[in-house]
Amino acid sequence: MAVQKLKVVLTRRLPDVIETRMRELFDAELNLDDRPFTTDELKAAVARAAVLVPTITDRIDADVLAQAGENLKMIANFGAGVDHIDVPAAVERGLIVTNTPGVLTEDTADMAMALILAVARRITEGAELVQRGDFHGWTPTWMTGRRIFGKRLGIVGMGRIGQALARRAKAFGLSVHYHNRKPVSPRIAEELDATYWDNLDQMLSRMDFVSINCPHTEATHRLLSAERLTKLQPHAVLVNTARGEIVDEAALAAMVSRRELAGAGLDVYEHEPAINPALLGHPNVVLLPHMASATLEARVDMGERVILNIKTLQDGHRPPDRVIPAML
């Protein structure tokens, strides 16, 4: 007698190899047109699914979860961040929430380092200039940026991604500083030659570059508030590849406009996908479309973690990547 497959609903298109494997293992319902689900569609999905596979574009709040059917067992998030899911409400309903930690680390750290270089060395500005046909020959004083070697980098959030960025920064000759809920282990601190600051304001006021690498939680919402942003020195550069809600975007835009900050490199936004118009048009601001983890390898790895979590549940075991409210 054939074993009944779990009903799995995917809210977005995933790499073909992942969707194919999902169909082999589960009763997987694909979103072939890749259009984000509406709230009503999310409610209908949790009513019929045993497992929902959402992404960052889906708001899984208590209102949506209230429509969950008796068969819903798990929300297997395609992504590491779960700030778009009301995890306490899900757990209270007896649901398991999982994510895909670790698989985005190297790619996100690469992008954070790339943004530091892009802003400091005016890379996108120079590339656009050449595309416009405005390059008329080298001169000693034209398109001068800033050297990063020997400068100080302050990392806000020293988890997997923060540590991966620190390794890259050290290779580029940057002095690594960090703020975290608690210091990293002595072994990691020694490996990275990293200086810990328990007071974020004190760290910010001394850095040449600041990178946001912490998760978005209630505790980190607008962690870099308008007041805290003023602690940055006028020559500092702020980079964010974490979540836009961690920074007061309007205050950041105003500081850049008033030249109270040397520049910014952003891959995420406070009201994504909307971008504050005040951030546009500045040559010293590099804006990317939330692409830090956008490598084929990362997307496939994320899908494989989702499959592992669902398959473990189906086999009657505890999924390895459970998200516990106390962890947030």
254 neighbors 225 (Cβ within 8 angstroms): no
Residue 4: predicted pLDDT: 82
Residue 210's identity, in one-letter code, is: V
Answer yes or no: is pLDDT of 79 > 80.
yes
9 neighbors 298 (Cβ within 8 angstroms): no
65 neighbors 310 (Cβ within 8 angstroms): no
Fold equal for 7-103+296-327 and 105-287: yes
Answer yes or no: is pLDDT of 76 > 50.
yes
- Could you tell me the pLDDT band of residue 1, with boundaries at 50, 70 and 90? very low
Count of positions (residues) in the chain: 328
What phi, psi does 271 have (nearest 5°)?
-125, 45
Per DSSP, which regions of the chain are E strands? 7-10, 27-29, 51-53, 74-76, 96-98, 152-156, 175-179, 195-196, 209-212, 237-240, 263-266, 285-287
Q: How far apart are CA 304 and CA 324, in angstroms?
A: 21
- Residues with catalytic annotation? 243, 272, 290
Q: Please identify, in words, the CATH class of the domain defined by 105-287.
A: alpha beta
Answer yes or no: is pLDDT of 295 > 50.
yes
pLDDT digits (tens, 9 = 90+) for 215-258: 999 999 999 999 999 999 999 999 999 999 999 999 999 999 99
pLDDT digits (tens, 9 = 90+) for 90-128: 999 999 999 999 999 999 999 999 999 999 999 999 999
What phi, psi does 108 have (nearest 5°)?
-70, -40
What residue ranges do the domains of the chain occupy?
7-103+296-327, 105-287
Higher pLDDT, 9 or 325: 9
CATH number for the domain whose boundaries are 7-103+296-327: 3.40.50.720
Largest CA distance in the chain: 78
Find, among 73, 28, 80, 78, the residue nearest to 315 by Cα: 73
Find, among 143, 135, 169, the residue nearest to 155 by Cα: 169
Tell whether omega for the bond before 183 is within 30 degrees of 0, i.e. cis: no
Q: How far apart are CA 261 and CA 243, in angstroms?
A: 20
Find, among 42, 51, 29, 28, the residue nearest to 319 by Cα: 51
Instruction: Note the Cα 309 to chain centre separation in Å.
Output: 21
pLDDT digits (tens, 9 = 90+) for 33-68: 999 999 999 999 999 999 999 999 999 999 999 999
